[in-house]
């Protein structure tokens, strides 16, 4: 496939906000893709050159991209900088200047997708002395062979600003439509994706051998499995109603890690599927000693003082994500890895086995002390026993409990009642925190003018529409340091108009790309005519009342890992009241900037 065809499809996707139209455009695109090609197309749509766990970062700073444009077009760097100040988008700058390029080359040729992907892959692979110059040279060569439309998208990919509004669910829907004419194959494609976390691979298998081959995709070491997720309830009695037999585990407020081992090779992946191995050297060394040749487990890492049995705050654990002084940080903030589920052992897939079988084998592999420990777990038979355990864990500084159905398999990538979480709450707060995607922000006023930041517009994820729906404005709970940092961070994510994957009738002072997840708490959830989260036929949605920031950016979560619309509606119903018939009950979410 010629890259100009793909660039034309990118333009069509950028010009529509209709998910139905996006599905049709992608379906047409995929039908034109050949074997060995569709995976590269999907990676490029995702703004990458490989699945995220491969750590192939093609990111280039704006200054480097400007130099590549200057090299390819013959214009001075000052001209590029001037155009960028005016346009605000280097993709548009590349389009304009390639259209009027001063230099031409006799070797210019029409590029195919393989060539563009290969060039971007080479940029990602470059490292060491002189690598920046070599990266600029490769990007300039691609631009030198580009049409204006091709140049626009080639520039945006390494800047992580493709802005197509495409999420993984839409890609899977499109693959299904391409083959079956409808979305009927989506669940089978998703099952394969949940086991390998590589949508490019799933598409290649699908194109080559059909949906039957996708159903046979198996777990592969060092290809992370998408994590299982719990449902919420508000009482122990509800847990007993939802599960046939229950085991109660402590819920740790740490950093979720999926740990893979093959011989002496160990890798650890975050919930976002990022390779975190180098961040946790002491955990890696301890994991090598486990008596298993091949192993995959689900676990939570957190700072824990074994002598006084004290769990430290989540923010302290997150400091271990620093890229520098890792050895120093490991001594200052030692971690304990609490292993809570088994997914794979010595060639055998354990995700299809019952929890009681997985737990039994887990207890044979891990002890209840040291750097690696199995999670605390007790089998219960009554709501009273669950409440007793819940109170015990909360009194020790833990978040609450996870109740697991002893007869249920490990549901990779799914949220269901096979796992149920029950978390502590405080007077005047919801029973659980809410993870929001930042979709916009407000300028600072009054005492916040100096920070250029006054609050955020937050959204939750709509799984059915693959969009982010507004649910609240947040203006409380920020420290001055956080306001200063957020002002700078969000300024780098500014976009001229509302993102294609965002559904909001409220207009913030500035729109931003939906990239960052933050955690908030609130007094309650109310019905709202202002927000699009769960909006019904009468135009009434849901909102958070008196929301406030907790902690900092959740670097361990992708935007799609945010709280969902269905969860907001679930939490609302758990409040035990219904004011849905009277939108005037909406009290709004004050944006306190004083």
The residues annotated as belonging to the active site are 251
- Rounded Cα distance between 487 and 591, Å, is 16
| Cα–Cα dist 4/23, whole Å | 20
Contact 382, 392 (CB under 8 A): no
Residue 516 CA, chain-centre distance (Å), reads 9
Name the H helices within 15-76: 19-31, 38-45, 62-73
Parallel, antiparallel, or unpaired for β 400-405 and 467-474? unpaired
Give the ranges where 533-584 is alpha helix by DSSP (H): 565-574
Q: Tell me how many degrees the CA angle 339-563-300 measures, rounded to the nearest 5.
A: 10
Instruction: Enumerate residues 6+ apart whose C-beta is below 8 A from 36.
Output: 204
The 8 Å CB, 24+ separation contacts for 326-333 are 326/278, 326/279, 326/281, 327/281, 330/280, 330/281, 330/282, 333/303
Q: Residue 138: exposed, middle, or buried by beta-carbon count in 10 A (0-12, 13-18, 19+)? A: middle
Q: Output the six-digit token pair for 494.
A: 């500014």
Nearest Cα to 502, choosing from 437, 546, 407? 437
Give the H or E element holding residue 345. strand 335-345
Among residues 534, 409, 393, 516, the alpha carbon closest in space to that of 457 is found at 516
Q: How far apart are CA 272 and CA 258, in angstroms?
A: 10
**Cα 558 from chain centroid?**
1
DSSP symbols for 94-144: HHHHHHT-S---TT--PPBHHHHHHHHHHHHH--STTHHHHHHHHHHHHHH
Handedness of CA 567, 160, 20, 459 (dihedral sign): positive
272 and 556 Cβ atoms separated by less than 8 Å: yes
Contacts of 459 (CB under 8 A, 6+ apart): 436, 437, 439, 468, 469, 470, 471, 502, 503, 504, 514, 533, 562
**Rounded to the nearest 5 degrees, what angle is found at the Cα of 370, between the Cα atoms of 368 and 376?**
30
Q: Kindly give, in sequence order, each residue whose CB lies less than 8 Å from that of residue 590, ignoring residues fewer than 6 positions away.
A: 475, 476, 546
Is 156 in contact with 163 (CB distance < 8 Å)? yes
The answer to whether residues 26 and 166 touch, using CB atoms and an 8 Å cutoff, is: yes
> Strands 502-503 and 335-345: what pairing?
unpaired
């Amino acid at each position: 496939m010629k890259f100009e065809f793909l660039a034309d499809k990118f333009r069509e996707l950028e010009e529509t906000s209709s998910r139905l139209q996006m599905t049709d455009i992608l379906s047409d695109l995929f039908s034109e893709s050949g074997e060995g090609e569709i995976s590269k197309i999907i990676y490029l749509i995702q703004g990458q050159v490989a699945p995220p766990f491969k750590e192939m970062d093609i990111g280039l700073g704006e200054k480097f991209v400007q130099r590549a444009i200057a090299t390819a077009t013959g214009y001075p760097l000052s001209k590029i900088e001037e155009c960028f100040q005016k346009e605000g988008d280097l993709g548009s700058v590349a389009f304009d200047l390639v259209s009027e390029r001063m230099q031409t080359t006799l070797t210019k040729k029409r590029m195919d997708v393989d060539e563009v992907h290969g060039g971007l892959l080479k940029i990602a692979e470059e490292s060491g002395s002189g690598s920046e110059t070599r990266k600029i040279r490769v990007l300039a060569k691609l631009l030198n062979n580009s049409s204006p439309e091709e140049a626009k998208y080639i520039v945006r990919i390494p800047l992580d600003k493709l802005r197509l509004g495409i999420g993984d669910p839409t890609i899977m829907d499109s693959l299904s439509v391409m083959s079956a004419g409808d979305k009927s194959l989506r669940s089978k494609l998703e099952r394969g994706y949940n086991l390998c976390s590589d949508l490019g691979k799933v598409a290649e298998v699908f194109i080559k051998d059909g949906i039957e081959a996708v159903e046979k995709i198996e777990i592969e070491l060092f290809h992370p499995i998408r994590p299982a997720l719990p449902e919420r309830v508000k009482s122990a009695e509800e847990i007993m109603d939802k599960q046939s037999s229950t085991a109660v585990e402590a819920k740790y407020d740490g950093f979720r890690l999926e740990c893979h081992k093959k011989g002496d090779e160990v890798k650890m992946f975050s919930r976002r599927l990022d390779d975190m191995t180098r961040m946790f050297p002491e955990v890696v060394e301890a994991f090598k000693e486990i008596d298993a040749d091949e192993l995959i487990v689900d676990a939570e890492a957190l700072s824990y003082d074994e002598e006084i049995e004290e769990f430290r705050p989540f923010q302290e654990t997150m400091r271990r994500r620093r890229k520098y002084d890792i050895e120093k940080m490991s001594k200052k903030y030692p971690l304990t890895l609490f292993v809570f589920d088994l997914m794979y052992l010595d060639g055998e897939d354990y995700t299809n086995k019952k929890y009681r079988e997985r737990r039994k084998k887990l207890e044979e592999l891990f002890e209840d002390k040291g750097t690696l420990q199995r999670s605390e777990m007790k089998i219960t038979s009554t709501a009273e026993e669950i409440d007793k355990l819940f109170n015990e864990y909360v009194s020790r500084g833990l978040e609450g409990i996870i109740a697991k159905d002893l007869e249920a398999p490990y549901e990779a990538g799914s949220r269901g009642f096979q796992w149920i979480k029950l978390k502590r709450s405080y007077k005047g707060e919801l029973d659980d925190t809410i993870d929001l995607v930042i979709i916009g922000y407000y300028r600072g006023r009054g005492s916040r003018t100096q920070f250029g930041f006054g609050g955020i517009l937050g959204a939750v994820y709509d799984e059915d529409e693959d969009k982010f729906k507004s649910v609240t404005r947040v203006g409380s709970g920020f420290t001055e340091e956080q306001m200063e940092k957020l002002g700078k961070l969000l300024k780098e994510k500014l976009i001229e108009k509302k993102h294609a994957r965002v559904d909001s009738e409220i207009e913030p002072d500035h729109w931003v790309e939906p990239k960052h997840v933050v955690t908030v708490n609130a007094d309650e959830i109310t019905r709202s005519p202002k927000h699009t989260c769960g909006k019904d036929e009468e135009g009434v949605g849901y909102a958070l009342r008196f929301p406030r920031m907790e902690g900092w950016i959740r670097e361990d979560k992708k935007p799609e890992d945010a709280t969902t619309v269905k969860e907001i509606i679930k939490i609302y119903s758990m409040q035990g009241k219904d004011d849905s018939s009277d939108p005037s009950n909406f009290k709004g979410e004050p944006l306190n900037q004083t």
